[in-house]
Amino acid sequence: MDDFSRYIIAWQLCRTMKAEDVKNTLDMAIAETGVEQVQGVQRPRLLSDNGAGFISHELKKYLETHEIRHVRTKVYHPLTRGKIECCHRSMKNLILGILKKREKVRNETMNMRRELNRMAMLEALPNGVS
């Protein structure tokens, strides 16, 4: 996320937060911005928490190669990363809303199937039996 504009430059949903996942996301952001071709005084910075993927030596080497300065937040201080935390909360709520709708549709479908099966069983009964 760009700190000034709050534009989400790159993101991906990962099962883990290993250094490889972080590097892949950063590769997407570098490709999107074209920052590799820009020669300037101020290089991009990565502001992150102290998660395992962000404190690895593998990521440190990657950031040095791409001339990206890494700034880590204080431990147990999510306010420093408030903008991205707000974005994460919004995405989480969106995903949870989609999952709840899917669950509701699934339950309605199951109820319809049960009702159709019940009706089919009633039709299969001999006349006069119910």
Q: 61 falls in which pLDDT band (50, 70, 90)?
A: very high
Find the mean pLDDT for residues 5-29: 82
> Which two three-digit tokens encode residue 104?
């509701």
- What is each CA distance from 110 to 15, 24, 101, in whole angstroms? 30, 40, 14
CA distance linking residue 44 with residue 3, whole number of Å:
11
CA distance linking residue 46 with residue 15, whole number of Å:
21
CA distance linking residue 111 with residue 55, whole number of Å:
49
Q: Give pLDDT tens digits for 108-121.
A: 999 898 888 888 88
Residue 130 above 60 pLDDT?
Answer: no
- The sign of the dihedral angle between the CA atoms of 120, 121, 126, 127 is negative
Domain-by-domain residue ranges, the chain? Answer: 1-72, 79-130
> Counting runs of H as helices and runs of E as strands, what totals does the chain give?
3, 2
Q: Which is nearest to 11 in space by CA: 99, 92, 101?
A: 92
Q: Give pLDDT tens digits for 20-57.
A: 888 988 898 888 887 777 776 677 878 887 777 888 89
